[in-house]
Structure 1
């Protein structure tokens, strides 16, 4: 099932927050990257903005590619924490995350490296929505990556 975040975990206070809901089409990936770049610049996040943009790109791409449900959308939520970290949440309409723990990527595969890369750059977790109608994938980025 993967690492599932416990609802009782308290997060450090947030000093800036932003969210956007997107249609689940491939072109939203570049839009999400631009929005992320703007937020980390505006908020003065101390981490590497390229890392934040890469993580968002991979998570939004996965949601669009693997969790598309007709008539449903995905939500990107970014939170800059007072401690300097950045939380990236991508919510999509599928409650399952069957490949979260495994890396079945072969050397000749053209894709499938997104989550392993995100794991190298952040603390990655996921949780099903309480109503059972979707999930949220979270990447926690420290301020000093890069």
Structure 2
């Protein structure tokens, strides 16, 4: 059976001296077919759905989005480490920490998707996250 979740994620990073610039792009589509094989099961109870009611779907979305993005970033950070542009460290941990520096402020400021964040604010968040990351991972 085809998965009801389709996603595509890319991470484009560039480094110049001690500056690291990454731009993630992500697209997700979820296909719901009422009564069909790919339809999500109707949750029991009041008709309201909790994430726990769709644990398989949530795991699939996590795998196709956050995990793929972290893996792509870890690969890029490993390459930058080998090139001597970052200090030696576990690239998976470094990727997880960099993404946390980027996404933490976004979640707080957007009030989980209810407030639009301006391009200037996004740029400031990305610059602050990159500055913090490079202070921790710049070559010694």
TM-score by length of 2: 0.36
Bigger relative contact order, structure 1 or 2, given CA contacts below 8 A and separation 6+?
Answer: 1
Q: Give the structure with higher Rg (CA).
A: 2
TM-score by length of 1: 0.35
More helix as a share of residues: 2
